[in-house]
Structures are given as C-alpha cells and as structure tokens.
Structure 1
C-alpha cells in the first residue's frame, strides 16, 4: 500500500480552485462509452460529475486565505498483491474508500460541537483510476537511464548523418541502437521501459479530493497539520488540534486487511517500513526472526520493491537484504518524511 497526502498547489502558490485537479482526473474517461467511465463518488453518493465536485469544493472554503490550501489530495495505491485479493477493482476500492475515510475522520484530534470528528463532517470526492504511466522517478526508468542516454546520443548522430551535417555508418549505428534497446535491464512486452509508457497489469488506484473545511464550512480540518495530538488555549478555551498520520496509515492497512481478508506480511506493514528508515539494524533483526515461510515472502517482496540488478549473486538472504537496504533506504526515507507510505 502506498498512500500520499498532499496539499494541491499551482506553481508556488496553493490552487484557488479544484477545477484543474478534477479535470485531470477525468483523463481516463476520454473516448469511453458512458457505461465504461469511472465517476466521482462521495460517502453516500455515486456518479457525481466533475463540475459538481469543483462547485462543492470551491464553495467550501470560507475564511481561508490565499496562502492556505483549499483542499488536499489523498492518493491510495494498493500493491499488486493487495489488488489480487479484489474481485472487482472498481466496486471493492469504492467500498474500501468509504471505510478508509471513516478512519481519516477519526485520525483528527479535533472536536466539532463537543463531539469527535466523524466521516459526516468530511467533504470529499473520490475517483477510481485503472491506468498508470511510468514516471522519471520510477526505479525502472532510473536504471534504464544509461541506455536511454546512449540511445539518444546515437539517434542524434543518425539524424546529423542523414541531414548531411556529419559522416558515419548508418547501418552500424542502427544496429547499436537495436542492441541497446534489447540490453536495457527493464523491459515490458519486449520493449525498453521508457517514461510515459503505460504500466501493464492491474494498476487500479484511488484519488480523493478532500476539502480543507468541514462539511458545514465552519471548521478547518487540515491533515497537513504539524501537530499530531495536542491542546491549545484559544479565547479562554482549551481546543484540541492535530492529525495523527501514523494512526491513519496504520488504520488504512488494517482496514484493507479486515475488509478483504488480506494476510499482510511483515515487510508490507507501515510499522516495518518506518522502522526500516529509523533503525535498519532493528528492522533487519525483526526480519530474520520471522518464521521461515513468512521470511521467504518478505524477501520476495523486498526484491519486487525496486532493488537494482546486482553484479554478483548474494550467497545468502542476509547479503541480499543488506544490498536491498542500501539501495532502498534513501527512497523509503523520502516517502516517510513526506508522510507517504510505500509497500
């Protein structure tokens, strides 16, 4: 499970409207018949138009300053193993989203009219998408980069020769380009993986637009708060504040497991990933204490997360783990620091 919570921005400033983001999420519907399209939905409604989403989110920003985010984006990306537990990606992820947003509401250390925040206080709209394209930050793109750079150089040489700006063996250059295309370490359907290429397999994921203000447009509910759980005195009254991201991320995976009967491996848990960043030695020790069958699955999962092709074959699982640690720690650290979880 990989979850991110971000305040939507437009350049260096916060977007004043959800229009750009909502329209972006309509991209997969282009060219599809009405019965094939995915529509926005909320906690209790289905088939909501992008226009209504924009109107509701934009109109729910009372007293917010231009320098404050008007809405947040939550992106939920189940792993291929988690997706494998679903019978119908669209229906199941919609059901999961509605359960997840209950946990989102409970993660606020706030009160509204003397009671805890509930999902009915959250104004949100979600959408299921089924496609993903490779980005420049994906590990497959990074590890193919050396080949991509050389291929581009050769193509430029080829163009110069064809246009008479230089001399060279066109047949030889084309042959070298072909060899490099085949030698690139990461391929999909017999082709070198490049930025922008659509990812194969089940890529279903969830996008959620959440208003900064509660449903009554009276209270500010920010998941971007730097406060996890505290109280502050305002106008002579003690006021609770904060959003517990750790609690939310832990509940997100537990809710998935309970909803779909998923048996989560140690290496897939948010707790383990956070431990990995803070103390790799403790993480490694915990990993080696797992039962043999669970340990084997954990190492398999680690390999699938993006460890580069190794020049030598490790003699045992411990060596493999250490190599994976060295290659993944930086990326996982960035994810944790940005309040994202990746499994």
Structure 2
C-alpha cells in the first residue's frame, strides 16, 4: 500500500479552484460510454457529477487565506498483491475508501463543540481509476533513456537521408534502430517502455479530494498541519491540535487487512518501512528471523519491487559483515515503490 497526502497546488499546476484537479481526475472517462465510466462518490452518495464536486469544494472555503490550500489530495495505491485479494475492484475499493476516511477523521487530534471528529465532519469526494501511465521519473523510463536518445538521433538521420538532406544508408540505420529497441533493458509486451505508455496489469487506485474545511464550513481540518497530535494550553485552556499521519498510515493498512482478510507480509508492511528508516539493522534482522515460508515470500516481494536480491544478507553472519550503507542501497528502491510501504 502506498498512500500520499498532498496539499492543493497554488500557483503551480492547479488554480485556486478545484476545477483543474477534478478535470484531471475525469481523464479516464473521456471517450467512454456512460455505463463504463467511473463516477465520483463520497461516504453516502454515488455517481456525483464532476461539476457538483467543484461547486462543493470551492464553496467550502470560508475564512481561508489566499495562500492556504483549499483542499488536499489523498492518493491510495494498493499493491498488486493487495489488488489480487479483491473480488470486485470498483466495489471493494469504494468500500475501502469509506472505511479509510473513518481512519482519516479519527487521526485528527481535534474536537468540534467538545466532541471527537468523525467521518461525518469530513467533506470529501473520491474516484476509482484503473489505468496508469509511465512517467519520466519512473525507473524504467530513466534507464531506457540512453537508448531513447540514440534512437531519436538515428531516426532524425534516417529522415534527412530520405529527404535528400544528407548522404547515408537509411536501411542500415533502421536496422540499428531495431536493435536498440530490442536492447533497451525495460520492455512491456515486446515494446520499449517510454513515457506515456500505459502500464500493463491491474493498476486500480483511488483519488480522494478532501476539503480543508469541515462539513459546516466553520472548522479548518488540515492533514498537513505542522503540529503533531498534541494537547497544548492556549489562553488558559487545554486545546487539542494536529493530525497524526503515522496513526493514519498504520490504520489504513490494518483496515485493508481486516476488511479483506489480507495476510500481510513483513516486507510490505508499514512497520517494516519505519524499521528500515530508523534502524536498517533491525529491518534486516527481522527479515532474516521470519519463518522460512514467510521469508521466501518477503524475498519474492522485494525482488519484484526491484531490489537486487544479492544485496540482501541470507544469514546473520553476512549481516554482521556487510555495511548498513551497502544494504540501504539495495532496498531504497523498494521503499519508494508502490509495492512497499506508505
């Protein structure tokens, strides 16, 4: 499970309105028949029109300053292992979203009129997407780039030869191009992976747009608060403040496991990510201490996520001999992968 919580972009890709972001989330529906479209939904409603989402989010901004985000984006990316556990992608992911937003509300260390915040205080809209494309920052695209650059250069030369602008053997150059296409390290369905190419397999994920203000448009609820969950004295009164991201991420994982009966391996757990960041030696010691069958699954998960398995110790003697810096190089890729961690 890989979850991100980001603020509305001001002065960047999106305007102060939510319209651009909502339009971006509608991209998969373009060209589809009504029955094949994925619509916005919230805790209790289905098939909410995009214009209604924009209207509700944009109107819920009372007393927010110009430079304060009006909404936040939560992106939920289940791993391929988690997606396999689902019986019906859209239906199950909607169910999970509604449970997840209960966890989101519970992670605020705030009160409204003396009561704990609940999901009914949160104004949000969500949408399921089933496609993803390769980005320029993806490992596959980056490592294919030297081949892409050379291919582009050769294609330019072929074009000039065929247009009579330069001398050369275009047939020989086309043969070189074909070889480079095949030699690129990352392929999908027999083709070189390039930026913008649609990713194969189940790519279902969730986008959530959540208002900065509560349902009554009177209380500001920021998951990007600089304050960790804490109680402080203000004007002689004890006041609750902050949002506990750590608790939210932990709950998100447990909620998925409980909802769908998913048996999570240590290598794909939020706990393992924290162990790796705080003390890599504990991470690898725990990995080696797993029962044989679980350790085999963990190594398989790491290998699929792009970790060079030769960088992982296979016994405690190797762990003692290898430096933590070397071990970190081998696993950093997976920690940033959608397959591992939050």
- TM value normalised by structure 2: 0.91
Q: Deviations over 1:187-212 (max 9, x none)?
A: 11111111100111111100000000
Tell me which residue corresponds to 1:301.
301
Change (3 A) 1:26 1:182: same
Tell me which residue corresponds to 2:148.
148
Structure 1 residue 326 corresponds to structure 2 residue 303 = no
**Residue ranges of structure 2 left out of the alignment (5+ in a row):** none
Structure 1 residue 271 corresponds to structure 2 residue 274 = no
**Residue ranges of structure 1 left out of the alignment (5+ in a row):** none
What is the deviation of 1:157?
Answer: 2.4
Tell me which residue corresponds to 1:57.
57
What is the deviation of 1:171?
Answer: 1.5
Tell me which residue corresponds to 1:193.
193
* Residue pair 1:29, 1:37 contacting (<8 A) in 2 also: yes
CA separation in 1, counterparts of 2:188 and 2:116? Answer: 49
Change (3 A) 1:314 1:331: closer
CA separation in 2, counterparts of 1:13 and 1:68? Answer: 16
Tell me which residue corresponds to 1:45.
45
CA separation in 2, counterparts of 1:13 and 1:114? Answer: 38
What is the deviation of 1:67?
Answer: 0.3
Equivalent position SS for 2:213: coil
Tell me which residue corresponds to 1:240.
240
CA separation in 2, counterparts of 1:192 and 1:121? Answer: 48
What is the deviation of 1:264?
Answer: 0.3
CA separation in 2, counterparts of 1:104 and 1:16? Answer: 24
Count of matched residue pairs: 336
What is the deviation of 1:331?
Answer: 7.5
- TM value normalised by structure 1: 0.91
CA separation in 2, counterparts of 1:12 and 1:167? Answer: 46
What is the deviation of 1:325?
Answer: 3.7
Structure 1 residue 283 corresponds to structure 2 residue 283 = yes
Tell me which residue corresponds to 2:101.
101
Equivalent position SS for 1:143: helix
Once the two structures are superposed, the pairs formed by residues 18-167 of structure 1 within 5 Å of their partners are 18-167=18-167
Change (3 A) 1:283 1:19: same
CA separation in 2, counterparts of 1:324 and 1:241? Answer: 38
CA separation in 2, counterparts of 1:128 and 1:314? Answer: 37
Q: Which moved more, 1:322-331 or 1:169-178?
A: 322-331
Tell me which residue corresponds to 2:7.
7
Structure 1 segments of 4 or more deviating over 6 A?
Answer: 313-316, 318-324
What is the deviation of 1:14?
Answer: 7.2
RMSD (Å) for aligned C-alpha atoms: 2.6
CA separation in 1, counterparts of 2:312 and 2:113? Answer: 62
Tell me which residue corresponds to 2:221.
221
* Residue pair 2:3, 2:75 contacting (<8 A) in 1 also: yes
